[in-house]
Amino acid sequence: MARALHTVRPQNPAEGTLYKTIVLTWVFYLFGALYVVGPVLAWLMGGLAALVLYLGPAVRADLRATGAVPPIVWGWTLGMIVMLIALWAGHMDWALGTKQTIKSSIGWAKGWALLALFPLIGAVLPIRREVLVRAQCRLGMWTLILAPILLAAPYVGMPEKIFTSPLKAIGGPGPEYFSVYFFTFDPASWTPRWQFYAPWSPFAALLGVVQVLFALEEKDRRWMAMGVAAGVLMILASKSRMGLVGLVACTIAPRMMPLIFRGWAWMVLAGLSASLSVLGGWLGEKIEAFVGAFKGARADSTRVRETLQRIAHERWQNEAVWFGHGTVHPGPHIVEYMPIGSHHTWFGLLFVKGLTGFFALLVPLVWQTALALWDAARGPRGRLPLGIVMVIVLLSMGENLEIEVYLLWPALVILGIHARELADETAAKRADKAQGQLAPDPA
């Protein structure tokens, strides 16, 4: 056990900073500082990665770059730069003014930019997967320690919200990002839901899925058990439908990918496909009933989201196809005054940044997904990256991704580490091939 602990101990300042930041998540949350910590960490560590690349061998040995920036990381960087250009173009089209443009650009630096910075950090700096995995499991341990207090709070008369941090003065999407809660009441059923260190419950559920994905990579069974238990607790206590879907899909699908290369799996698939000719109608009815029940579980929420998406799509199509409206707009009473362009990453991108912003995210995300699918089909190394990408896709279907990256950053660093691993593998193969061509002919 002591040996296992030693092998995952941070070995350089970069690993130590990320490790401690993850472990101290609850401490930062209790000060209402998580929304500040994520962007600050991204820009500081991203600056360190750029400095390490620039100085090369002049950097201390334990911080030297692990290699060149992988192509997928360049893809994320270019995509997020295009996102900023789309933002500026939208503000110019709608004459939103210099003050609003500066404010929105700062929002980009705290949101979309992090999708490029954290993969860069993981790809360039010498950070190991197992360090982040152990840190997440330690965070899970603290979640389990605090869980009895949180779960008992609504039944012993404790208030929902403890306080809102003065840090809200720096600006952000809303006061909930700087507030500390025991729990919240679901307005539809008036029953308690828990959001842990997230700004709201559905997001906490998907953070729970990420917690489970990390924990399943842990080699020490005791830490793994604590990590998985904490993740499942977050999913169940949040009472989120999307979290339940993610728990099943994001853990099982990556482990099924190697079956692509198994002949017997294709034979089973062929048999199942043939059986659909007989059972297809019945199965379709059951799936339709399940989807209806799934949506009906929170009918009011589903109605609001669908209406927001319809309004966003219609206004994008009729008013601002290429660069969007530049910012979200206040919604009408029918959507409970929720902002148009919120509650869905893709419809939100179309409304706020148009087709330009839409493809600025779509292209690197599809690229990242393809890499994860390919590697997961080859072996266990791709399981965690694929699960993470699936969580990001799920999150994008019900939330605004850019305002939640500040809590997803450990997952994004893993994507950067995975990109580095793939690049190292490719470089090694090229070196072996070149060496083989240079070797003298034995004859």
Question: How sure is the predictor about 333, in pLDDT bands with cuts at 50, 70 and 90?
Answer: low
DSSP conformation class of 197:
T
Question: How sure is the predictor about 209, in pLDDT bands with cuts at 50, 70 and 90?
Answer: very high
Q: How many domains does the chain have?
A: 1
Report yes or no on 339 lying in a domain.
yes
Mean pLDDT of the chain: 86
* Helix (H) or strand (E) segment spanning residue 105: helix 97-110
Provide the pLDDT for residue 1: 40
Report yes or no on 3 lying in a domain.
no
DSSP letters of 161-183? Answer: EEEE-GGGGG--S-GGGGEEES-
Residue range 175-203, pLDDT digits in tens: 889 999 999 988 767 889 999 999 999 99
Domain range for 136 is 8-427
CA-to-CA distance for 214 and 227, rounded, in angstroms? 8
Q: How buried is 12 (Cβ within 10 angstroms: 0-12 exposed, 13-18 middle, 19+ buried)?
A: middle
Q: In angstroms, how far is CA 141 from the centroid of its own chain?
A: 21
Question: How sure is the predictor about 341, in pLDDT bands with cuts at 50, 70 and 90?
Answer: confident
Question: How sure is the predictor about 281, in pLDDT bands with cuts at 50, 70 and 90?
Answer: low
Provide the pLDDT for residue 420: 94
Provide the pLDDT for residue 414: 97
Provide the pLDDT for residue 285: 58
Q: Is the pLDDT of residue 56 over 50?
A: yes
CA-to-CA distance for 350 and 338, rounded, in angstroms? 17
Greater model confidence, 177 or 305: 177
Report yes or no on 315 lying in a domain.
yes
Q: Is the pLDDT of residue 51 over 90?
A: yes
Q: Which amino acid, one-letter code, is at 66?
A: T
Report yes or no on 24 lying in a domain.
yes
Provide the pLDDT for residue 277: 55
For residues 130-143, give the mean pLDDT. Answer: 97
Report yes or no on 439 lying in a domain.
no
Report yes or no on 441 lying in a domain.
no
Question: How sure is the predictor about 4, in pLDDT bands with cuts at 50, 70 and 90?
Answer: very low
**Alpha helices per DSSP H over 153-262:** 201-215, 221-238, 241-256
Provide the pLDDT for residue 31: 94
Report yes or no on 310 lying in a domain.
yes
Q: What angle do CA 193, 153, 34 make, to 5 degrees?
A: 65
Report yes or no on 382 lying in a domain.
yes
CA-to-CA distance for 20 and 4, rounded, in angstroms? 18
